[in-house]
Amino acid sequence: MKYLLSLTLIILAFQFSNAQIANLAEEISPLLIGEKIPNTSVVSSKGEELKTDKLFNQQNTVLIVYRGGWCPYCNRQLEGLRTIEDDLINLGYQIVAVSPDAIPEVANKYSSKYQLISDGSTKLIQNLGIAFKAPTKYGDMLSKASKGQNNSVLPAPSVYIINKKSEILFEYISPDYKNRIDEKLLLAAAKALK
């Protein structure tokens, strides 16, 4: 019985260790390939609460986590994604892009074939293990972009390929917000996992 209790506590400690907010982007502790993304709530582009397990179990998913609509590197990444979105959809993937921005901020900026999701609470970002404390100079801007929900947390820009069980099949994570995955590499990974 003691062994079972100890094992349970170790598993819980490991699970919650990913839900921390790192001090710096270089100190994040992301989930690994093969791990399951914990279920959490996010907000759809229609303003409706969604559970991530329901969102991801619809079909295999390409999940893009970006800093916000205010980030020029993120905007370039999302624009680049448009060049392969038809290919990804034809392969059977849904494309979901998530940031801490509030939905009206995000939805007005982009119109495409992928779903825009708000994680203003940063719970998904924390569960992925990619949350870090934003420099204080970003506080007012983050608060405005998230409609007051977040003034201190940013995600390390990341791309995941996730199966219907919310398990990570592929990931690209860079603590340097200027480094993004090339669209051709993402498409090659998506094809290889089909």
What angle is formed at CA 32 by the lines to CA 55 and CA 60, rounded to 5 degrees?
A: 30
What angle is formed at CA 95 by the lines to CA 94 and CA 96, rounded to 5 degrees?
A: 120
Q: What is the pTM of this model?
A: 0.85
Report how many domains make up the chain.
1
- List the chain pLDDT tens, one digit each, 194 residues: 555 544 444 444 444 444 689 999 999 999 999 999 999 999 998 889 999 999 999 999 999 999 988 899 999 999 999 999 999 999 999 999 999 988 755 555 555 688 999 998 999 999 999 999 887 877 777 767 766 667 678 999 999 999 999 999 999 999 999 999 999 999 999 999 98
CA distance linking residue 160 with residue 152, whole number of Å: 24
Q: Whole domain around residue 33: which residue ranges?
A: 2-192
CATH number at residue 42: 3.40.30.10
Does residue 131 contact residue 154 with C-beta atoms inside 8 Å? yes
Both tokens of 185, joined, read 């590499």
Query: At 75, phi and psi to the nearest 5?
Result: -60, -40
Look at residues 4, 7, 24, 23 and name the one whose alpha carbon lies nearest to residue 15: 7
